[in-house]
Amino acid sequence: MDMSDDDRMKELMAFDNTKLGVKGLVDAKVVNLPKMFIRPAEELAEDLARPKSQAGIPIIDLDGLLTDDRRREIVVDQVRIASETWGFFQVVNHGIPVGVLDKLMAGIRKFNEQDIEAKKEFYSRDHARRVKFNSNYDLFESKTVSWRDSLIITMVTSDPLDPIELPSACRDESMEYINHVTELGNKIFDLLSEALRLKPDHLRTTMQCNEARSLGCHYYPECPEPELAIGITQHTDSSFLTIVAQDQTGGLQVLHGNKNWVDVKPIPGALVVNIGDLLQLVSNDKLKSVVHRVLPSRQTRVSAAFFLAGRLAPPAILYGPIKELTSEENPAKYRGVLISEYLAKFRTKGLHEKPCLDQYRL
């Protein structure tokens, strides 16, 4: 390790040991970004050279799904097209009251803006801990540190989470939202199953793609030099499915066709849905897990990403391409993988590295 690497590690450790996250730097009134938050010059230049896109991800209205068969057919087709071509879409009339979303956003702000000692007790990098607060899960692997703090809440169906484990600042708000968004996740899995011409409950019940769940409550503080920083570096999600609630600040971008960054413009009351790596794997590349990122700004941004993963508890499931989606003309493109194995690989690399999915391609 040369001196520059050694200095960087010391800087990272000093930052982590404060247990204050990025918000601690804002509270200290930093005017210039510490070096570890500044993106490489070549990356900034590449952004400037990349053509801008005025396109927007698809918006899908879920109204009438349960009462109108023809309406459901239309929505299934919209979900299929969006998942195959974009890997992202927004949903409206999804059944979660706007009040629930507003309370969740307020709860995340309250947690991050409360007394620092109350936050510190949740600060941890222990993956086994079900409720933890930290800044950058890949802090020591990242090329550039992201301007973001996160409270992560992990749940599995077989071992329900006791709400008392959650911070009091956002306990009720988080649990209310989790109950609603879990139900919505099941509905979307059913739509995706139908889009793949499978039985409606195939992904949800047969494959147990919703068995493990986590809620990432993300806080992006106001940034003094947003043009040099990154809110969360470009990456794909390791989940089967991700559902994102966001405030009206903006900053989320999707890399469409590996060419242009497309802004995901906030719509009041809407939720963002994206396909994860594992759903691309089991669909044998029919559905796309797409690179995305968040840009910081001079305004604080709050979001909540709900990740749906597969079965972790014994007996473990080996997830590979769904048999009904393969044939002699379209053979399996991936080898099977255990969720625990995939998550372990995902956690040991920086988000900026190539997607783990590539390592399982045949």
CA 358 to chain centroid, in Å, comes to 19
How far apart, in whole angstroms, are the C-alpha atoms of residue 215 and residue 77?
28
Q: What secondary structure, in 3-state letters, does 63-84 show?
A: CCCCCCHHHHHHHHHHHHHHHH
CA 349 to chain centroid, in Å, comes to 16
pLDDT above 90 (res 247): yes
pLDDT tens sequence across 16-44: 999 999 999 999 999 999 999 999 999 99
Looking at the structure of the chain, the number of domains it has is 1
How far apart, in whole angstroms, are the C-alpha atoms of residue 226 and residue 8?
21
Q: What angle do CA 309, 311, 354 make, to 5 degrees?
A: 45
How far apart, in whole angstroms, are the C-alpha atoms of residue 349 and residue 9?
16
How far apart, in whole angstroms, are the C-alpha atoms of residue 251 and residue 96?
23
Would you report the helix, strand and coil content of the chain in percent, each value rounded to 5? Answer: 35, 20, 45
pLDDT at residue 3, rounded to an integer: 43
Task: Say if residue 266 is preceded by a cis peptide, omega within 30 of 0.
Answer: no
pLDDT tens sequence across 257-276: 888 999 999 999 999 999 99
How does the average pLDDT of the chain come out, rounded?
A: 94
Helices in the chain by DSSP H: which ranges? Answer: 3-18, 21-27, 41-49, 69-85, 98-113, 116-120, 171-195, 277-282, 339-347
How far apart, in whole angstroms, are the C-alpha atoms of residue 34 and residue 248?
27
pLDDT at residue 23, rounded to an integer: 98
% of the chain beyond a pLDDT of 70: 98
How far apart, in whole angstroms, are the C-alpha atoms of residue 325 and residue 342?
22
CATH of the domain at 143: 2.60.120.330
CA 271 to chain centroid, in Å, comes to 12
pLDDT above 80 (res 351): no
* 273-285 mean pLDDT: 98
How far apart, in whole angstroms, are the C-alpha atoms of residue 351 and residue 142?
7
pLDDT band at 165 (very low <50, low <70, confident <90, very high): very high
pLDDT above 80 (res 8): yes
Q: What angle do CA 128, 130, 136 make, to 5 degrees?
A: 80
% of the chain beyond a pLDDT of 90: 82
pLDDT above 90 (res 196): yes
CA-nearest of 114, 154, 122 to 24 is 114
pLDDT at residue 278, rounded to an integer: 96
* 2-13 mean pLDDT: 81
Angstrom distances, CA of residue 57 to CA of 136, 169, 187, 247: 27, 33, 20, 17
* CB neighbour list of residue 108: distance below 8 Å, 6 or more residues apart: 151, 170, 173, 217, 218, 219, 302, 304
- The two tokens of residue 257 are 């066709």
pLDDT above 50 (res 2): no
Range of the domain at 140: 5-360
Angstrom distances, CA of residue 325 to CA of 77, 229, 246, 267, 284: 17, 41, 34, 34, 7
pLDDT tens sequence across 100-141: 999 999 999 999 999 999 999 999 999 889 999 999 988 998
pLDDT at residue 256, rounded to an integer: 92
Task: Say if pTM beats, i.e. exceeds, 0.85.
Answer: yes
